[in-house]
Amino acid sequence: MTVVKMVKVLIVMASICGGMAVALAWTFTKSCDELARLGSSKAVGVCQKELAQKPDDDNLQLHLGVAYANQGDDVNAVKWLTKSANQGNTTAQNDLAMMYVKGEGVTQDYAKAVAWLTKSANQGVAEAQYNLGGMYYSGRGVTQDYAQAVEWYTKSANQGLAKAQFNLGSMYVNGQGVAQDYTKALEWFTKSANQGFAQAQNSLGLMYAGEQGVTQDHAEAFKWFTKSANQGNAEAQYVLAVMYQMGQGVTQDHAEAFKWFTKSAHQGLARAQYDLGGVYYLGYGTTKDYAKAFKWFTKSANQGDAEAQYSLGVMYQQGQFVKQDDAKALEWFTKSANQGLAKAQFNLGFMYNNGQGVEQDHDKALALYGESANQGLAEAQHNLGAMYHDGKGIPKNPQTAKQWFNKACDNGYKDACQYR
């Protein structure tokens, strides 16, 4: 090797070693700020050393507070956030406020939280403006004021904070603190959704599906529900399942519907649990399985879903998977009927009318049939007509009987048509 070549090699090697040295030095000498943001266990020690050199540096005080919070030491987190906030650090003011909101490291105090949020928000911190809007919305630490909530959400949303844009869109939908305006809602949901905010994507899907502020477009709705569902939004997963089941905005696909019902149900959404039970009950997109249907109906019913309560009643009444049990059927039909479900009111009325699982009570049967019939259930209208026609437990009334038979017939119940 010539001298010239050797020199070139040494230069290259020196450059490589120098690069490694720089890289290694960077790895092991991250600043307090970087370590705190990374949630490193070394952050507290590094920040303390840097603060020893600059004891009044509000940013270092902030980072040390964050480092303590990341380690679960809320008392010291509050201590250092307070020092920083008192020096006017706007980020520390917001973070300290949220410690007061949650009661972490300090006694919960909404009024103090509002005071710190106001300081930070007035200096233009988008996160603080959003949080302050939330305090006015919920009336924590201040008198509930939707108009003020809108004002602060707007300030934050105009700075591009996606969750503020979503909340502002929701307020336009609901007409809270502002005149109801679906066009404005669509605008803000779109801004938020385009940043990947799952709740906004779901809400945008709902607007396209339901013609709120925009021409109905199932394909567009499907697109946004899919984006939201893929981020784990349980409501979007449920609606996406329904769209696959119904073939709205997408080719009908019961297997895909089953997949999304399952994802949503496992997150605890009662309506999805009911529909997943229905899918197992009917065998749509999966093998028919009464045991699994019963399991999911029960989960949903225990959350108060009226349809699921009714379905459990049917399974107990007919002895599907479970032992036939009129008392249990009566219990679940009652829960469902008390929520106004017409078919549950009808079934419950039938049980009282015939003394099935309960002492016969024609008055209760009449009342339940009436509630169901007034919602348009043809079977209830027919049975109500029959009670008046036969005088079963009540005085005969041919005229009233005919009125109910006519309604039942008009609603497609053919057996009632012979009594018109």
| Each residue's pLDDT tens digit, 250-292 | 999 999 999 999 999 999 999 999 999 999 999 999 999 999 9
3-state SS class at 107: coil
Where does residue 187 rank: exposed (0-12), middle (13-18), buried (19+ CB within 10 A)? middle
Q: Describe the chain by its helix, strand, coil percentages, rounded to 5.
A: 70, 0, 30
The number of residues in the chain equals 420
Global pTM reads 0.84
What pLDDT is attached to residue 37? 84
CA distance 54 to 48: 10
Domains of the chain: 340-420 (1.25.40.10)
- One-letter amino acid of 249: G
Rounded alpha-carbon distances, angstroms, from residue 72 to 59, 82, 173: 20, 17, 39
- Within 10 A of 392 (CB to CB), how many other CB atoms are there? 14
| Each residue's pLDDT tens digit, 27-74 | 446 899 888 888 888 989 999 999 999 999 999 999 999 999 999 999
CA distance 123 to 93: 11
Q: What is the CA radius of gyration of the chain?
A: 32
> CB-side exposure of 354: number of CA atoms within 13 Å?
11
CA distance 84 to 115: 15
Walk along the chain (420 residues) and give the pLDDT tens digit of each residue: 343 333 333 333 333 334 433 333 334 468 998 888 888 889 899 999 999 999 999 999 999 999 999 999 999 999 999 999 999 999 999 999 999 999 999 999 999 999 999 999 999 999 999 999 999 999 999 999 999 999 999 999 999 999 999 999 999 999 999 999 999 999 999 999 999 999 999 999 999 998 777 899 999 999 999 999 999 999 999 999 999 999 999 999 999 999 999 999 999 999 999 999 999 999 999 999 999 999 999 999 999 999 999 999 999 999 999 999 999 999 999 999 999 999 999 999 999 999 999 999 999 999 999 999 999 999 999 999 999 999 988 899 999 999 999 999 999 999 999 988
What pLDDT is attached to residue 12? 35
Going by the DSSP 8-state scheme, the letter that residue 372 receives in this structure is H
CA distance 299 to 302: 5
CA distance 253 to 201: 22
CA distance 301 to 102: 32
- One-letter amino acid of 282: L
What pLDDT is attached to residue 29? 60
